[in-house]
Amino acid sequence: MKTSKIARYALYIINGFALFFFITSAFSPYIPPKTWIMSSFMGLLFPVFLFSNLIFLIVWLISRKWKAAGCNLVVFLIAWGSIQAYCPINLLHPDKPEGTIKLMSYNVMGFAHHTHKKNEPNHIIEYINKENPDIICLQEYFINKKNPAANEAFIQKAFSNYPYKRAIYFDQSDNFKYGVAVFSKYPITDVQRIKYKSAYNGSGLFTLDINGKTVSLINNHLESNRITQKDKEFYQSLRKGNIDSETLGSLKNNIVSRLRPAYLLRAQQADSIAQTVKNQQTDYLLVCGDLNDTPISYTRHKVQGSLTDAFVSHGNGLGISYNADYFWFRIDYIFHSPKVKTADCYIDRSIKTSDHYPVLCYFNLEE
């Protein structure tokens, strides 16, 4: 057998394995982590499998191996839903209709733990006031009780154009309070914490009255992966190629040991949020926040349920919302029910003070 023929058959076999992992990864969000924990890691590796099979497709097209190319194309079509969720493309952007409501979801990282003074302003507070959304959903909302320039009264005064402000705190001490908050130009008529297991994170159900319509708004900050600074330094070394097999093994074991319990806990939290969504009686439902998981994950799949992902329906590209230390992922979302009509949704990368970018969405409530 000729060497070229052997090489071609070897490529067929490698491509076969790549296609298997790609399709498994694409459908991994449907598998609860408690059933098969590897499903979560497969979802995390989705872009790797997507890129590798794209390379194979190009190779087969160039070499005119039509059957092999056709096989890859079929698998791409089967996995199209996951591809669109990971990297949507929406070329048309219709004008925003009159009366559009502007919603911002933003993990503010404790306002970067920076005070807000006239001669030394907090850029996050400045940015939010400049954007002037009608509703703001904040995660990692941090109040320093002892600091007059960062306590609750001061922060609420900094957002004085919002008459309705409610927060739910998941962790607090004599010095600070930490949780999620909603600032709104529309009345907030009720607030409830969604109960699930977590030491420092959580979700809140906020009920709003928007022009006579009852809107349920769920603001979330789910369990983080707790990646340490040491993990990030390992990752930087990996990117630069300054890493040996022993260090790589240590990095793999360290990250897996952190990710596994986080995946399991987030899955439970996602189940609780999904049940809360199911229990809502209103036609108008918005779910937003930092889910700490990628578009190809059980967490995102479960929380979204039958709702629409506003970025997938109106955004473009990867929609990266977490921006620290080259860990680039879309982990911040806005979902909505059918009678909430989105006009636009995008990630604003102009503000870099937090380790997250804000997600902005323009919507109307259908009669």
CATH number of the domain residue 128 falls in: 3.60.10.10
Q: Are residues 306 and 340 in the same domain?
A: yes
Is residue 243's pLDDT more than 70? Answer: no
Cα separation, 26 vs 84, whole angstroms? 11
Taking residues 89-102, what's their average pLDDT?
85
Q: Is residue 237 part of a domain?
A: no
Q: Quick count: other Cβ atoms within 10 Å of Cβ 28?
A: 24
Mark whether 210 and 282 lie in a shared domain: yes
Same domain? For 153 and 198 the reply is: yes
Q: Tell which residue, 200, 196, 148, 202, has the closest CA to residue 173.
A: 200
Comparing 78-82, 112-116, 320-324, which segment has the lowest mean pLDDT? 112-116
For residues 189 and 81, membership in a common domain is answered with no
Give the structural domain span for 34.
3-86
Residues 166 and 263 in one domain: yes
pLDDT band per the 50, 70, 90 thresholds, residue 146:
confident
For the chain, the distance separating the N- and C-terminal CA atoms, rounded to the nearest angstrom, is: 70
Token look-up 């919603």 returns 103
Residues 193 and 71 in one domain: no
Q: Is the pLDDT of residue 224 over 70?
A: yes
Q: Which of 25, 59, 86 is the last residue of a domain?
A: 86
pLDDT in tens, 190-213: 999 999 999 899 999 999 999 999
> 326's torsion region: left (phi>0), alpha (psi -120 to 50) or beta?
left
Residue 99, pLDDT > 90, answer no
Cβ-based neighbour number of residue 257 at 10 Å: 9
Q: Is the pLDDT of residue 144 over 60?
A: yes
Of the three residues 31, 60, 86, the one that is the final residue of a domain is 86
**Dist. CA 104–CA 106, nearest whole Å:** 6
- Per-residue pLDDT at 5: 81
Q: What is the pTM of this model?
A: 0.93
- Residue 265's CB: how many other CB atoms inside 10 A? 20
- In this predicted model, which residue has the larger pLDDT, 234 or 7? 7
Nearest CA to 142 out of 116, 103, 104 is that of 116
Mean pLDDT of the chain: 91
DSSP 3-state assignment of 161? coil
Mean local confidence (pLDDT), 117-125: 86
Which of 56, 86, 116 is the endpoint of a domain?
86
Task: Give a yes or no: residue 241 inside a domain.
Answer: no
In this prediction, residue 114 carries a pLDDT of 83
106 and 59 share one domain: no
What's the confidence (pLDDT) of residue 237?
A: 57
Residue 95 lies in a domain: no
Note whether residue 39 is domain-resident: yes
The pLDDT assigned to 238 comes to 53
Confidence of residue 258 (pLDDT cuts 50, 70, 90): confident
Shared-domain flag, residues 80 and 105: no
As a whole number, mean pLDDT of residues 301-326 equals 94
**Which percentage of the chain shows pLDDT scores above 70?**
91
Residue 304 lies in a domain: yes
pLDDT band at 254 (very low <50, low <70, confident <90, very high): low
Please check whether residue 279 lies inside any domain of the structure: yes
Q: Is 94 a domain residue?
A: no
- Both 196 and 299 in one domain: the answer is yes
In this structure, the answer to whether residues 212 and 321 fall within a common structural domain is yes
Instruction: State the CB neighbour count (10 A cutoff) for residue 300.
Output: 22
The predicted structure's pLDDT at residue 228: 61
Q: What is the mean pLDDT of residues 174-199?
A: 95
pLDDT over 70 at 69, yes or no:
yes
Q: What angle do CA 283, 288, 290 make, to 5 degrees?
A: 160
**Predicted pLDDT of residue 101:** 97
Q: State the pLDDT at residue 256.
A: 77
pLDDT digits 0-9 by tens, 354-367: 999 999 999 999 98
Based on the fold, state whether residues 143 and 73 are members of the same structural domain.
no
| pLDDT surpasses 70 at 339 | yes
Q: Assess contact for 48 and 17: CB atoms under 8 A.
A: no
Helix axes 3-26, 66-78, angle to 10 degrees: 10
Whether residue 92 is contained in a domain is answered as no
Number of domains in the chain: 2
Confidence of residue 173 (pLDDT cuts 50, 70, 90): confident
Residues 108, 49, single domain; the answer is no
- Whether residue 70 is predicted with pLDDT greater than 70 in this model: the reply is yes
